[in-house]
A and B are shown apart, each in its own frame.
Chain A
Amino acid sequence: MKKILFFFLLFGSLSSVFAQGYQIGDKAMDFSLKNIDGSMVSMADFKEAKGFVVIFTCNHCPYAIAWEDRIIELHQRYAAKGYPVIAINPNDPEVQPADSFEKMIERAREKNFPFSYLFDEEQSVYPVYGATKTPHVYLLEKEGKDLIVRYIGAIDDNYEDANAVSKTYLADAVEALLAGKAPNPAETKAIGCSIKFKK
């Protein structure tokens, strides 16, 4: 019995080491993270929302910066339709000083972020979701009390030039959910800055 328990623990810990994060269709966990206004924010606070555009992003990454204005636009377009953006900075400021909470407040002020910009200070949320880079999007849909992962990946297909985008992956995915359909593609990839974790 002890042996079995031991194997169980071993595999349990191994599987957490090799956790790949969420797949499409998984239930996503809610969180309580500090917002730039000092309040604690959870998805449960948004009673009217139909779902959430959770974006792991940060201040310093050139890709995150390149997509910033488009993230603001997405929030402006979809918050009223039930899909607000929730931005989360997952980086450890000791490794990347430009991503400190103070700098988040500064950046949000400069750009007048209309959405919550939360700090994953304990670095406990991004590994559960499986985020590896910034920006990294998880589109969630409310289903009763659950939040179901419907789309994972990129915002669109052109980081360099917002005017040259040919595939608006994330907006298409939100539109699909609003129309009662499953996003297709449900997963996309983009280059991003690796998440900076405590060494």
Chain B
Amino acid sequence: MKLLITIFLGVLTAWTGFAQTPVIVNYTELKPLLHKQNDTTYLVNFWATWCSPCVEELPYLEAINEKYEGDEAFKMLLISLDFKRHLDSRLIPFIEENKLDPEVILLSDTDANYWINDIDSSWTGAIPATLIYRNKQRWFKEGSITFQEIDSVLINHFFKTE
């Protein structure tokens, strides 16, 4: 029965083009998603709707996602740093308007002094910032990215078979 409901909801979601509603997490909840050890390559982008360089690079990220999303060994996460109180008024409308496909999660955790370093000690806290990881292998960049840059990092450092 549960399975049927899940399938029904899944079909309904696909059929209506229902936009995603991001979950709100704290860092303790987010951290496991930044350390999965399952051979999948994860691309994690830290952004916000009000951050113009972040919004400018979203099309590159979507193009990357489109290129690799069929691949089971790739997953993209967009970690929004929008204010929690702006979830309904800004973040969800932005996702709908831009038909954002990759999963969006809203990180709301005030202890940034802890989690910025924990994500990458070289990160000063400016966004956008992008983390790519596969098992123990990690690549991090603070600042804007381009399609070519990310694509070549993925191809040369993550998708190559060892």
Binary interface encoding of chain B residues 32-58 relative to chain A, with 1 for a CB under 8 A from any of its CBs, else 0 = 000000000000000010111100000
Given the known A-B contacts A154-B113, A160-B110, are A192 and B85 also in contact in the complex, defined by CB atoms under 8 Å? no
Judging by beta carbons under 8 Å apart, are A133 and B125 in contact? yes
Residue of A at shortest CB range from B52?
A: A96
* Shortest distance between the CB of B75 and any CB in chain A (Å): 23
Closest A residue, CB atoms, query B123: A189
Do most interface residues of chain B lie in helix, strand or loop, or is the interface mixed? loop
> Is B51's CB under 8 angstroms from A193's CB?
yes
Which residues of chain A are within 8 angstroms of B48 by Cβ–Cβ distance? 62
- Contact present for A157 and B111 (CB under 8 Å): yes
B84 touches A160 (CB 8 A): yes
A76 at the interface (CB under 8 A from B): no
> How many CB-defined contacts (below 8 Å) exist between A and B?
70
A132-B110 contact given A160-B84, A160-B85, A191-B116, CB 8 Å threshold? no
Q: Is A123's CB within 8 Å of the partner chain B?
A: no
Q: List residues of chain B with CB within 8 A of the CB of A185.
A: 113
Is A189 a contact partner of B117 (Cβ separation < 8 A)? yes
Judge if B127 is at the interface, Cβ distance under 8 Å: yes
- Is A159 close to B, CB under 8 A? yes
B128 lies within 8 A of A194 (CB): yes
**A116 contacts B by Cβ under 8 Å:** no
Residues of chain B with a CB closer than 8 A to A61's CB: 50
Per-residue 0/1 for A186-198: is the Cβ within 8 Å of any B Cβ (1 yes, 0 no)?
Answer: 0011111111100
For this complex, into which size category does the number of interface residues on chain A fall?
20 to 34
Closest to B117 in A: A189
User: Could you say which of A132, A167, A191, A196 contacts B81, with CB atoms under 8 Å apart?
Assistant: A191
Answer yes or no: B124 CB below 8 A from chain A CBs: yes
Asked whether any CB of chain B lies closer than 8 Å to the CB of A158, the reply is yes
Residue of B nearest to A152 (CB): B124
- Evaluate whether A132 and B84 lie within 8 angstroms (CB atoms) in the complex, with A189-B116, A190-B112 already known: no
Of B81, B113, B127, which is within 8 A of A157 by CB?
Answer: B113
Contact A190/B126 with A62-B50, A154-B113, A160-B85 known, Cβ cut-off 8 Å? no
A1 part of interface (Cβ distance < 8 Å): no
Instruction: Let me know if B52 and A132 touch, CB within 8 A.
Output: no
User: Which B residues lie within 8 Å of A196 (CB)?
Assistant: 52-53
Q: Are A133 and B113 in touch, CB under 8 angstroms?
A: no
How distant is B87 from chain A, measured CB to nearest CB, in Å? 12
Q: Which one of B112, B113, B126 contacts A193 once the chains associate, using CB atoms below 8 Å?
A: B126
List 14 extra interface pairs beyond A166-B110, A194-B142, CB under 8 A: A61-B50, A62-B50, A132-B125, A154-B125, A157-B110, A189-B123, A190-B112, A191-B81, A192-B125, A192-B127, A193-B126, A194-B51, A194-B127, A195-B126
A-side residues, CB < 8 A to B, are: 61-62, 66, 96, 132-133, 136, 153-154, 157-160, 164, 166-167, 169, 185, 188-196
